[in-house]
A = this chain, B = another copy of it.
Amino acid sequence: MARPDHRRLILETLQKQEQPISAQALFAQLRQQGQTIGLATVYRILSHLRREGLLCCHGQPEGEILYSLAEHHYHYLTCIRCRRMIRLPACPWQEWEKTLKFPEPFQVLYHELQLFGLCHLCQGLPKEVGGSKTPLQ
């Protein structure tokens, strides 16, 4: 049987995502599409893409890592209530970089900016009672 091109598969799936996605969720999504792919392969390929600089990794305060393609480098507003991630239109880093002073020489290779808070849908809602999901930061 011909071997499916898993790397392309994962790249295409990442391209479709509107939000960064976890490795587990990516795996589940591929399986639901009927693909026969192993979890190990997903991690393997993500690791490759990572080393090639094709991926942005967003380490969440809860420990999970979310991935998105680096071809368009984005930052997100993350709602701590509904977990929605809203993409910022542009990365402000290049502007900001000029104004920053480092305490010692340092070569910045990449950066991560995450903004947490309440989206407009969740701002009016009453406070969560049960405390089910992982809370804030």
Contacts and interface: CB of A to CB of B under 8 A. Distances in A.
Interface of A: 50-51, 53, 55-65, 77, 79-80, 86-89, 92, 95-96, 99-120, 123, 135-137
A74 to B, nearest CB: 11
A3 B110 CA distance: 46
A41 to B, nearest CB: 19
Contacts of A63: 59, 63-65
A119 B104 contact: yes
Nearest to A122: B107
A62 B55 CA distance: 14
Contacts of A106: 77, 79, 86, 115, 117-120
